[in-house]
Chain A
């Protein structure tokens, strides 16, 4: 299977909203509502931010939201804060017990 496609970078000013896309195919993102998003700060382990397309684990601010349309999933970060600057990765179930990750997006808070 191929990796999901994410833009290499995204940016926004504090207080603004930014949306990161994650494009797959009808075999993964488009066929299952098992899309997850992870935040990774430099030198740290990834942290789960969104699962099942739009659900937030306990403790994740509601500034983070997820959605999906067709083969593309999206992560929106509202009210950008300095601590949101990090790498973000999407992942999707791809059938037959396979998982696939996106290439990652570096979010810069200007």
Chain B
């Protein structure tokens, strides 16, 4: 079955760039679907960060657009998130997920990875 697994540093210093990767197994990214990142600050709700198509077309949340880059590497069957100039407000569990193309619903999620921004 399709599985997603996030990886990356659990601790990032303020003003630096947060970088995470989502490895996809059981499905070839180049076959289709959108792939996305969603985050959840401790004790708070979900926030959509952005989504990318296997072709590389990416769309970002307007509130994060100036700091976010999402990229896809079909050769490694993975996609990545870069969030620059982080502050404590970016501390959250970061999830990667597969997004249904038309409905915009995320049907398969990774387990999530906690990222703390602190010096």
Contacts and interface: CB of A to CB of B under 8 A. Distances in A.
Interface in B39-72: 45-48, 51, 59, 61-62
A47 B109 contact: yes
Contacts, number: 61
Nearest to B4: A45
A28 to B, nearest CB: 11
Interface residues of A, number: 24
B59 A48 contact: no
Nearest to B61: A98
B46 A1 contact: no
A36 interface: yes
A38 B102 CA distance: 17
A51 B46 contact: no
A46 B45 contact: no
B119 interface: no
Interface of B: 38, 45-48, 51, 59, 61-62, 95, 100, 102-107, 109-112
Given A34-B102, A97-B59, 9 more contacts: A36-B103, A45-B110, A46-B106, A47-B109, A48-B105, A51-B103, A99-B61, A100-B48, A103-B45
